[in-house]
């Protein structure tokens, strides 16, 4: 069984009129105290919520936030997310201080047609991550229909995404449907030339997806910290740059596989380097691919930016996951910004561009280029596992 062969219903294919809908959402949003600093994931659920409200549904939202490790921790309360949703939705959003038990049951029972309720963090209960059957049954009792809109949690076999979804008639919402449409294009039916751009800190985080992408892409562009393990595997000096020594052999295998398949694998040709991992550390551009001793590469250099942009410009399909450098520090943000600009230009030229991963989306937020992409995925881990060919538990649970 694969994602393509699953029998998934969309919201339009099930009867929800006037019913109590249990909707799993991904409101794992960044907070500054009690303020939501990026409401993207909340905004993405608005179309489905408005469609359910129009049908007179009683809507019960369930979600997680952070890693409270199965214990109640006010730092991870979803109450700020309820406030953000209320502001975006333009109507009251009720909040309950638990997701199961008497408090939750009473709040659900009090819901009227078209009203929205957000329950407290699922992960305040250890049973959530354990995919506990009794906990799932308690969650499922809140609804007559289950709607899955938490794409970023679909790769987790947790009670709210797997066991509870199996207990009710269910469907995927518009957000998940859109994710599957665009990720399906890059995973199963890309138009060529197809280019993947991978970055971020570690080879180990993207080892499987890199191997899978080699079967599909025409070119693979690698930047970020993970590039230095590949450079080291070729015997190129990397100075004090980030290195996963235990992954050098894996990097060599990927380089060999790319050669065998005729896939162009591009690594940084120059770097923006510094002596220390600090925002105010003096930065310089290396004249060549080698990073001098005593320095660490913290971004791709200007020649690499041009090289990558030229390749992206020729593409019909582009997938990007992971920044090209330490984009949070202004001195080392130019590489990631240049990739974002190249993808925006490719989109304008008719290419399908899909961006996944929290850091890549943060680059787009920083540059304001998110709307210029064909699709920005709300789930980094889930998007990578789909591209790896894995069957996501949250989707399998909904297949009837």
pLDDT digits over 15-49, tens only?
A: 999 999 999 999 998 888 889 988 888 999 999 99
DSSP output for 70-112: TS--GGG-SHHHHHHHHHHHTS-EEEES-SSSHHHHHHHHT--
At 3 the pLDDT is: 63
CB neighbours of residue 295 within 10 Å: 21
Residue 324 and residue 269 in contact, taking contact as beta carbons nearer than 8 Å: no
Asked if residue 8 has pLDDT above 80, the reply is yes
Whether 3-174 shares its CATH topology with 181-387 is answered yes
At 382 the pLDDT is: 87
Q: Place domain 3-174 in its CATH homologous superfamily.
A: Phosphoglycerate kinase, N-terminal domain (3.40.50.1260)
Q: Could you give the angle at which helices 79-89 and 46-54 cross, rounded to 10 degrees?
A: 70
Range with the lowest mean pLDDT among 6-10, 50-54, 96-100, 147-151?
Answer: 6-10
CA distance 345 to 369: 10
Asked if residue 388 has pLDDT above 90, the reply is no
Domain ranges of the chain: 3-174, 181-387
Residue 300 and residue 271 in contact, taking contact as beta carbons nearer than 8 Å: yes
CA distance 318 to 295: 32
In three-state secondary structure terms, 360 is: helix
**Average pLDDT over the chain, rounded to an integer:** 94
At 83 the pLDDT is: 96
From residue 32, give the alpha-carbon distance in Å to each of 38, 112, 279.
10, 32, 21
The half-sphere exposure of 111 on its side-chain side, counting CA atoms within 13 A, is 32
User: Which neighbouring-strand residues pair with 273?
Assistant: 284, 297
Q: What percent of the chain has pLDDT over 70?
A: 99
**How confident is the model over 234-257, as pLDDT tens digits?**
999 999 999 999 999 999 999 999
DSSP output for 316-330: SEEEEES-SS-TTSG
- Token representation of residue 61: 């939202």
**How confident is the model over 258-303, as pLDDT tens digits?**
999 999 999 999 999 999 999 999 999 999 999 999 999 999 999 9
Sorted by sequence, the CB contacts under 8 Å of residue 183 that are 6+ apart come out as 354, 356, 375, 377, 383, 386, 387
Asked if residue 4 has pLDDT above 90, the reply is no
At 233 the pLDDT is: 97
Asked if residue 2 has pLDDT above 80, the reply is no
Nearest to 179 by CA among 29, 44, 76: 44
Q: Which helix (H) or strand (E) holds 300?
A: strand 296-300
| Strand pairing class (116-119; 145-148) | unpaired
CA distance 219 to 199: 14
**How confident is the model over 355-371, as pLDDT tens digits?**
988 789 889 989 999 99
Catalytic (active-site) positions: 41, 202, 358, 381
Asked if residue 78 has pLDDT above 80, the reply is yes
In three-state secondary structure terms, 355 is: strand
Residue 59 and residue 49 in contact, taking contact as beta carbons nearer than 8 Å: yes
1 confidence band (pLDDT: 50, 70, 90):
very low
**Sign, CA torsion 237/243/246/252:** negative
In three-state secondary structure terms, 149 is: coil
User: Which neighbouring-strand residues pair with 353?
Assistant: 318
Residue 158 and residue 381 in contact, taking contact as beta carbons nearer than 8 Å: no
Residue 147 and residue 47 in contact, taking contact as beta carbons nearer than 8 Å: no
Nearest to 273 by CA among 281, 289, 285: 285
At 220 the pLDDT is: 97
CA distance 112 to 368: 39
Domain 181-387 listed as CATH 3.40.50.1260: yes
Q: Using alpha carbons only, how large is the chain's radius of gyration in Å?
A: 22
Burial class (CB in 10 A: 0-12, 13-18, 19+), 364: buried
Q: What percent of the chain has pLDDT over 90?
A: 85
């Amino acid at each position: 069984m694969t994602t393509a062969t699953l029998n998934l219903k969309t919201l339009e294919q099930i009867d929800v009129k006037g019913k109590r809908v249990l909707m799993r959402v991904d409101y794992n949003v960044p907070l500054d105290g009690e303020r939501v600093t990026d409401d993207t994931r909340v905004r993405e659920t608005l179309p489905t919520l408005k469609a359910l409200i129009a049908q007179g549904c009683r809507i019960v939202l369930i979600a997680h936030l952070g890693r409270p490790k199965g214990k109640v921790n006010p730092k991870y309360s979803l109450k700020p997310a309820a406030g953000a949703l209320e502001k975006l939705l333009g109507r009251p959003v009720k909040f309950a201080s638990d997701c199961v038990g008497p408090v939750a049951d009473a709040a659900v029972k009090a819901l009227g047609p078209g009203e929205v309720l957000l329950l407290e963090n699922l992960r305040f209960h250890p049973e959530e991550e354990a995919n506990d059957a009794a906990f799932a049954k308690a969650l499922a009792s809140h609804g007559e229909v289950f709607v899955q809109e938490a794409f970023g949690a679909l790769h987790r076999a947790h009670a709210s995404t797997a066991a509870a979804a199996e207990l009710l008639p269910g469907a995927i919402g518009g957000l998940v449907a859109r994710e599957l449409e665009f990720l399906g294009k890059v995973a199963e039916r890309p138009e060529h030339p197809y280019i993947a751009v991978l970055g971020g800190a570690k080879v180990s985080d993207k080892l499987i997806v890199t191997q899978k992408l080699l079967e599909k892409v025409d070119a693979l562009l690698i930047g970020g910290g993970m590039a230095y393990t590949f450079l080291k595997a070729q015997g190129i000096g990397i100075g004090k740059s980030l290195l996963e020594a235990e992954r050098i052999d894996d990097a060599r295998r990927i380089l060999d596989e790319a050669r065998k398949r005729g896939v162009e694998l591009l690594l940084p040709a120059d770097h923006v380097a510094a002596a220390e991992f600090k925002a105010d550390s003096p930065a310089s551009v290396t004249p060549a691919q080698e990073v001098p001793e005593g320095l660490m590469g913290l971004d791709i250099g200007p020649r690499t930016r041009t090289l990558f942009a030229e390749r992206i410009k020729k593409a019909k399909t582009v997938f990007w996951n992971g920044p090209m450098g330490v984009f949070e520090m202004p001195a080392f943000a130019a590489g990631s910004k240049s990739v974002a600009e190249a993808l925006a230009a490719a989109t304008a030229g008719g290419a399908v561009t899909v961006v996944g991963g929290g850091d890549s989306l943060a680059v787009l937020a920083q540059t304001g280029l998110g709307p210029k992409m064909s699709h920005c995925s709300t789930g980094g881990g889930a998007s990578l596992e789909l591209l790896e060919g894995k069957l996501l538990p949250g989707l399998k649970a909904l297949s009837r």
